[in-house]
């Protein structure tokens, strides 16, 4: 049986007493996260990766997995795709002038970084 949850805009998602998650497989499915345990446990968190920074997963009183750790365990957004096929001098194509609210960039490895004024922007082709 699969448990389906919605991430919404939460900064922490409480999975209850879920120590099994520490030995589970994490699979990025577009913006969703599928966690599969060794004994058949399954949790699907819809829109987990839709936020700028993924929420932490609370695993009961034992602790939590921070969002950036979960993102690393789940793998890149575009598996098997790399920054570019040709050459690049690594120069920025622009920079952030102003930010209202939050602004995020996705790196070629699938990680997300928050942008602030002055941050350089690079183009991956």
- Tens-digit pLDDT profile for residues 47-60: 999 988 899 999 98
| pLDDT, averaged across the chain | 84
pTM of the predicted model over 0.95: no
Are the C-beta atoms of residues 80 and 52 closer than 8 Å to each other? no
- Tens-digit pLDDT profile for residues 7-18: 988 899 999 888
How far apart are alpha carbons 76 and 59 in whole angstroms?
A: 23
Give me the percent of the chain exceeding a pLDDT of 70: 88
- Tens-digit pLDDT profile for residues 77-106: 766 555 554 455 667 788 888 888 888 887
Are the C-beta atoms of residues 73 and 33 closer than 8 Å to each other? no
Q: Widest CA span of the chain, in angstroms?
A: 50
């Amino acid at each position: 049986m699969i448990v389906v949850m919605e991430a919404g805009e939460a900064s922490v998602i409480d999975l209850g007493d879920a120590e099994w998650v520490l030995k589970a497989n994490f699979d990025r499915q577009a913006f969703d996260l599928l966690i599969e345990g060794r004994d058949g446990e399954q949790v699907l968190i819809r829109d987990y990766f839709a936020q700028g920074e993924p929420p932490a997963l609370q695993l009961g009183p034992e602790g939590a997995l921070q969002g950036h750790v979960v993102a690393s365990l789940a793998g890149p957004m575009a598996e098997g795709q790399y920054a570019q096929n040709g050459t690049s001098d690594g120069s920025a194509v622009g920079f952030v002038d102003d930010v209202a609210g939050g602004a995020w960039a996705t790196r070629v490895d699938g990680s997300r970084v928050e942008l602030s004024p002055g941050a350089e922007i690079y183009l991956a082709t």
